Chains A and B, each alone.
Chain A
């Protein structure tokens, strides 16, 4: 930026007791200051002011561009933007080992019961044959 403009700007800020945060206000005031008649913007009447407006505009645009670039760079670097959604992976049905062991153990115990019943006859009475009970 031109040294004269910088000096003028800092003088303007000091005179109006403003800080850097007042830059947007000052920027808008540049357009409004010399508005006359129907035309609000009057380029060509005061070259000094026109230059200041141009420089200020480009300064603001450059600042926004740099800010945006830093923002985008940081986001891209951290992998936070421009990401593609993950595809949902369908998990195959995995064999449940615990269930398998439980099932095998169930059949083993059933097999033992089967063999035990085969070896040992049941103690059961024919319900058709009446049982004679001794009298008390």
Chain B
């Protein structure tokens, strides 16, 4: 009888012990989860703070960089700029086509311009140089230089494909 009582008491205490153990485990896991959440939030907050500082510090650079992209509504003025630069150096510029290129993201897109310029050799070469050094995010993809017998705008003509980045 005594033995059975002791066994029952032992079982009871074992159950209590197990219950407490599981309770401690659950509570500890909850605490650990909360600590992890706090750490994650703290990291996110510090990243956000440093990003804010970085954004403030780099605002002048970003503004400057924006100047080197063709603005959202500046496509026409950019084409006029190309023609004006051509006439300034003494070549006749004709924009034959403007089509959007493959690259399109949510902020920017590429425009593919087909340009024909004609005039004397030195001026044409100078204009090609200007196209290469345009203060915009642009690249010359194709360049065909030819000479014609006809004395129109000039003996030399250049057919260029210019790809330029434009804000959307």
Contact = CB atoms under 8 A, between A and B. Distances in A.
Given A54-B3, A72-B24, A118-B130, A95 B58 contact: yes
A3 B96 CA distance: 112
Interface of B: 3, 6, 10, 17, 21, 24-25, 28-29, 32-33, 36, 39-40, 43-44, 47, 50-51, 54-55, 57-58, 61-62, 64-65, 68, 85, 88-89, 120-122, 125-126, 129-130, 133-135, 137, 147, 155-156
A114 B133 contact: yes
B32 A79 contact: yes
B28 A100 contact: no
Given A79-B32, A100-B58, A114 B134 contact: yes
Given A76-B24, A100-B65, A126-B121, A110 B133 contact: yes
Given A97-B58, A114-B135, A87 B36 contact: yes
Given A86-B40, A113-B133, 11 more contacts: A61-B10, A82-B32, A83-B29, A94-B51, A100-B58, A117-B129, A117-B133, A118-B89, A127-B121, A128-B121, A128-B156
Interface of B is mostly: helix
Given A89-B44, A117-B130, A126-B121, A103 B65 contact: yes
A6 interface: no
B126 A122 contact: yes
Nearest to B123: A121
Interface residues of A, number: 39
17 contacts: A65-B17, A72-B24, A89-B40, A89-B43, A94-B54, A95-B54, A95-B55, A95-B58, A97-B61, A100-B61, A104-B61, A107-B135, A118-B89, A118-B130, A121-B122, A125-B121, A128-B156
A97 to B, nearest CB: 6
Given A92-B51, A114-B133, A128-B155, A83 B32 contact: yes
